Structure 1
Amino acid sequence: MLTDAWINSSLMLPLDEDAPEFLDSMRSALLQLSQDRDFWIRSIYPRLIVDASDEFKFRKESSAPSGFIAWKSGERLVESARRTLIAGAKSYMGPGRHYVNKHGRFAHRYLDQVLMGQSAPGSYIITAYAPPNGAVPLSGSADAAAFAVPELGLASVRDVSQAVVRAVQATVEALEHYRSSGSLAGFEAGVAQGISYEMTSAILGIAENSDGADISIEWDPVTPAPGELDSHFEFRGSDVDPLSKAATRLAADASSEVSTLTGRVHLLAKKQAGSPGVFGLDTLSGGRAKKVRVRLSDEDEYHEAVRAHEEDLALEVSGRLEKEANLSWLYDATVVRTLGPISEFSRPSRSAIEGQISLFSEQVDE
């Protein structure tokens, strides 16, 4: 029996051709398919053309009609789903509070094995198909040799997928601990199970600006499903605050002073090969540094700065704040999250006098 849990549809397929009811059952199944074209396109056809696959479904509730989402929110959901898979794949290689670029090539080799499916009704759903029988070379320098001689180092795609789910599950457990205690200690304790800055910030992107969101996993029966892992995880809009705080804490380097700033992005620098990118931040959160140059630690986050610049959104970043001559720099910086419109975070001018009319509506960039 094929089922689609998102729309509560099912299809009974007879397997015994010698059974007296075989023809009637097959006609009934074909009639059902002819009357429900969406079920065929959405649930059955992808399984016929794709090899055995474990399915990850990332769903976000929105005020749009069922199956639709605001364009920018849809882009954010796709990006957050990708970052969830990347963060979980990194945790397969070993625990870490903040990976930055560590294990990045391995995680992207895992992602190269994954297919993205069409959205399904419900609200808006991103589906990822990961082949359980696939393999990921542990070392990029020995890809061909690794497949020829497995002893050189291959990771099972199913094992990496389990690491993704284990990290998501640990993050959900930390959120539950926060709801009951108000403490972020669960995030610190869960690093050994896969919680990291990368995972918390990815799930933050799924939860924010939503009326509810969830991640579900359906393991392909070709390989026995792991019994110790949950298969459905729910998130609330109220989870954004603890996830943001946890991301900031996990990104912090205990050996240096870390600052978290909110501001308007300007002076974007084009990325160079091997460089994560640099941008200017006109801070809105107060403090001694009014303008800061931000040097990112992860190139995947550069596009968030570009988006914040293009859409006039406030950006929250965290890093090591240092002063060099007349410039303030935020080194090893990470994007905690993208906030709302700049107008909602504007810093009042210190020189403003009550009743005085400003001649300029916006400060000129450096």
Structure 2
Amino acid sequence: MTHRPTDEPLRPARPHPADTPWDGPPPEPADVDPAVLAALLHRHGWQRRGGAPGRYGRWTPPGPGRGGTSLLVPETRAFPDSDDLLGEALLALTRSGTPSAREVLLALAVPSDEIHWSRDVPAGPGDTTTWTVEEGMRTAARAVLLAAALATRARAGYFGARHRRAATASLENVLVGPAPGGRHLTAFVPVAPGRPLSVRLHQALHATREAVDYRRATGGMDAFDSAVESGVSHELTEALVSLVRGTEGARIAVEWAPAAGIPAGCAAPAEPVEFTPGDLPALREAGVRYLQAEPSVPVRITGAVVRLRRSGPRGAGTVRLRVLAGAEIPHVRIALDEEAYRIAGHAHLVGLPVRVHGRLESRGGFRRLTGAGPVIPVQVDDAERDRLVKALQEDLDFFEEACGGD
């Protein structure tokens, strides 16, 4: 049986369809708040150029040569023609070839917080950048999002394999826009259920900035210790190092969905948080500090034995469990004496999970259990046993490894 390694890079978020034609009907005017539409137009570069104050505004799209196209957007629904004007504006957006028009329509359809990354990188011929620069931007941005998702599950200086499966799953609905030139990237985090991720990222970025400033001003690392409560971690500092390395500076901004308002305790508007190459020593030092300081965790784990290995037909060996309960990790490796190894092997053969207690070691990413206690088979219902036995039959590596093969 093979499993996706937990340290494998996170797969890309789903592309945001902002660069494809809008092929659906316009939103219903009754479902659109005029103030939200105006806020989205402003966010995406549209310019208000007059209009009757207190009644409607005239908006033109960003970019040169757009003066002939405009939208009349009512400011309120207080006038008889407000719905008509709103409907005409929405219809005009669906027919517009401007990418920002599609982004506005998508933001109306799925209210989302927007996270913007930007980097100052040297330009190549024709203002281009290399493939690796653009890929580096996406990789670093994904790592930043994953660190924030981990921090919504728990507060820790170092997560390792803990909570990674749930954090990765929480990014399934995040959309990502195009990243031309490897300098800018935007992620769209739906308010439901992604607002906690956006809030945690906002708080963690500001706490990181304050801790770096404190380190550079005083030489002390105490601010990084307290910043853990705001979501700062080894994973976040490493992601920021990847984002800034090789650039002249990088910025991250969180913009709240107008339809959902500003979360309690967050800034309005949220200013970008900037990091420069001069911040890298402090970020690296904090990452090492978090890695070394996170303690081992006492746990009692229930899991299915998916792999057994020992050097000969007798003696101690190592087993790998697929964790079913007791710890927020997908798999754990345990060194067992001969008797415990034999019990684990029999449980595997008959399709029973086992329960064992010990300490989940931070070294190696919380993937190893030390000081393991007795291995106890756990009774399960027939349906669960059949599923585990089927998994055993699919595990072609087991028979060689159980017999002492390499």
Aligned-pair distance for 1:100? 0.1
Q: List per-residue Cα deviations over 1:82-131 (Å, max 9, x = no partner).
A: 1111111111122111100111112112111211112368x721111111
1:332 and 2:391 equivalent?
A: no
Q: What's 1:238 paired with?
A: 278
What amino acid maps onto 1:233 in structure 2? V
Which ranges in structure 1 are unaligned for 5 or more consecutive residues?
Answer: 135-156, 257-272, 275-297, 300-330, 335-366
Which of 125, 131, 155 is matched with 2:190 structurally?
131
SS at 1:58 equivalent: strand
Q: What's 2:101 paired with?
A: 40
d(CA) in 2 for partners of 1:207, 1:5: 25
SS at 2:212 equivalent: helix
d(CA) in 2 for partners of 1:189, 1:111: 26
| Contact residue 237 and residue 283 of structure 2 kept, 8 A | yes
| Contact residue 144 and residue 236 of structure 2 kept, 8 A | yes
Q: What's 2:176 paired with?
A: 116
1:92 and 2:152 equivalent?
A: yes
1:62 and 2:102 equivalent?
A: no
Q: What's 1:221 paired with?
A: 258
Change in CA separation of 1:254 and 1:115 when aligned onto 2, cut-off 3 Å: closer
d(CA) in 2 for partners of 1:172, 1:211: 17
Q: What's 2:132 paired with?
A: 72
Which ranges in structure 2 are unaligned for 5 or more consecutive residues?
Answer: 1-37, 49-58, 60-70, 297-305, 308-328, 331-362, 367-406
Q: What's 1:102 paired with?
A: 162
Q: List per-residue Cα deviations over 1:271-322 (Å, max 9, x = no partner).
A: xx99xxxxxxxxxxxxxxxxxxxxxxx99xxxxxxxxxxxxxxxxxxxxxxx
Give the alignment's TM-score, normalised by structure 2: 0.50
Structure 1 runs (4+) deviating above 4 angstroms are 4-10, 16-20, 65-68, 253-256
| Contact residue 41 and residue 104 of structure 2 kept, 8 A | no
SS at 2:237 equivalent: helix
Q: What's 1:82 paired with?
A: 142
What amino acid maps onto 1:173 in structure 2? E
d(CA) in 1 for partners of 2:265, 2:189: 19
SS at 1:163 equivalent: helix
Q: What's 1:168 paired with?
A: 205
| Contact residue 171 and residue 190 of structure 1 kept, 8 A | yes
Change in CA separation of 1:51 and 1:120 when aligned onto 2, cut-off 3 Å: farther
1:200 and 2:259 equivalent?
A: no
d(CA) in 2 for partners of 1:254, 1:40: 47
The percent identity for this pair of structures is 24
d(CA) in 1 for partners of 2:243, 2:264: 26
| Contact residue 67 and residue 120 of structure 1 kept, 8 A | no
1:249 and 2:249 equivalent?
A: no
Change in CA separation of 1:107 and 1:180 when aligned onto 2, cut-off 3 Å: same
Change in CA separation of 1:46 and 1:209 when aligned onto 2, cut-off 3 Å: farther
Greater Rg, structure 1 or structure 2? 2
Change in CA separation of 1:39 and 1:92 when aligned onto 2, cut-off 3 Å: closer
SS at 2:162 equivalent: coil
Q: What's 1:188 paired with?
A: 225
d(CA) in 2 for partners of 1:7, 1:223: 20
Q: What's 1:151 paired with?
A: none
1:51 and 2:120 equivalent?
A: no
SS at 1:215 equivalent: strand
| Contact residue 67 and residue 124 of structure 1 kept, 8 A | no
SS at 2:208 equivalent: helix
Indicate the RMSD between aligned Cα atoms, in angstroms. 3.9
d(CA) in 1 for partners of 2:136, 2:184: 12
What amino acid maps onto 1:129 in structure 2? F
Change in CA separation of 1:221 and 1:4 when aligned onto 2, cut-off 3 Å: closer
| Contact residue 54 and residue 220 of structure 1 kept, 8 A | yes
| Contact residue 134 and residue 179 of structure 2 kept, 8 A | no
Change in CA separation of 1:19 and 1:45 when aligned onto 2, cut-off 3 Å: closer
d(CA) in 2 for partners of 1:164, 1:255: 24
d(CA) in 1 for partners of 2:45, 2:295: 51
| Contact residue 88 and residue 160 of structure 1 kept, 8 A | yes
d(CA) in 2 for partners of 1:246, 1:104: 21
Q: What's 1:347 paired with?
A: none
| Contact residue 203 and residue 230 of structure 2 kept, 8 A | yes
What amino acid maps onto 2:173 in structure 1? Q
Aligned-pair distance for 1:18? 4.3
SS at 2:115 equivalent: strand
d(CA) in 2 for partners of 1:116, 1:76: 15
Aligned-pair distance for 1:5? 5.1
Q: What's 1:158 paired with?
A: 195
Aligned-pair distance for 1:253? 4.4
